[in-house]
Structure 1
C-alpha cells in the first residue's frame, strides 16, 4: 500500500469513527467520462432515515493556503435515505475542485451540482463548516503529508444562491438557522 492509500485510509477511519456505523464506499462518476472519486455512505447517520456521505481522497487536492503540510478538504453531505442520487453532488464538487481548480472552502457555492431527478427545488450547493457532529470531532487534523478539514455541502435553491451573492453567505446561513431548514429534505422549499 502506498503513502497516499495509507493516508486516505486514515481519513476514512476518522470519518467512520466520528459518524459511526458501518460505511460502504463506492466510486462516483464526475461530469466528464473517466472521472471517479470514492464516497463513503453511512446509513442511518446522524439519525434513522438519513444517510451521510463523505468524500475520501479529495483532500489530496490542495486548497491555496499557506499551511504546512498543505491543506485539503473532504466534504460531507446528508440527505433523506431515499435520495440515492445525493452522492453525485459530492462527486461533481470534487471533480470541479480537481479538474477545474475550484477551491473547496467555507461559503463557496457550486452551481448546478444537484442531479435533476433528485430535487425539484434545489440546484446548487454551498460549503459550510459542519455542525451535525461535535465541533472537535471534525477539527482540522494533520494526516501524514496533508492537513485535512471537513466541510458540509448543503444543497440550495436559485433564490438562496442569489441571496448569498447579494447579502453574503453568512446572511444566508443566518436565515437557515432562523427558519430551521430541513437540510435532509431534497424537496425542501426555499428559505428566502
Structure 2
C-alpha cells in the first residue's frame, strides 16, 4: 500500500518561491514521501518525457530498508519515481496519493523510464 505523510498539495512553511511549479521542489531540508522534485532528470536521459521525480516509500523493500532515527531527525529510504509534466501537475492539484492510485489503477510500470504518462 502506498502511503504519504504529506501530499504535494499541502501548504509548506519552506516555500522558497511563489511559483506553483517550484513550491514543493526542495534542495535542502526535509523531503517527505509525496514530495515532487521538479526538473531533476535530464531531457537527454533514458526518461526524456519524465523529467520530475515523485518521492515515495519503497514498499517493495519495506521489510529490508529500515529508517534510522537520529537525535533530532529520522532518515528514511525513499524511491524516486520519474513522472511527466501532467503527472506532476496532478500531484500538485490532487495530491500524491491520487497519482499513486492512478499508477495502481492503470498498472503503470513505474520502473520503466520510457513508460507513457498515465495522464
Question: Same fold by TM-score, threshold 0.5 exceeded?
Answer: yes
**For 2:72 and 2:30, how far apart are their aligned partners in 1?**
19
Deviations 1:60-102 (A, max 9, x none): xxxxxxxxxxxxxxxxxxxxxxxxxxxxxxxxxxxx86xx424
Number of residue pairs matched by the alignment? 94
Which consecutive unaligned segments of at least 5 residues does structure 2 have? 1-24
1:145 Cα offset (Å): 8.4
**Larger proportion of helix:** 1
Instruction: Tell me the residue number matched to 2:80.
Output: 153
**Which structure has the higher relative contact order (CA within 8 Å, separation 6+)?**
2
Whether the aligned pair in 1 keeps the contact of 2:55 and 2:78 (CA below 8 Å) is yes
Instruction: Tell me the residue number matched to 2:33.
Output: 106
**Larger proportion of strand:** 1
- Among 112, 116, 136, the residue aligned to 2:63: 136
- Which contiguous aligned blocks of 4+ residues in structure 1 show a shift greater than 4 angstroms? 143-146
Listed as ranges, the matches of 1:1-192 within 5 Å are 100-118=27-45, 119-133=47-61, 135-142=62-69, 147-192=74-119
Greater C-alpha radius of gyration: 1
If the length of structure 1 is used for normalisation, what is the TM-score?
0.44
Over the aligned positions, Cα root-mean-square deviation in angstroms equals 2.2
Which consecutive unaligned segments of at least 5 residues does structure 1 have? 1-95
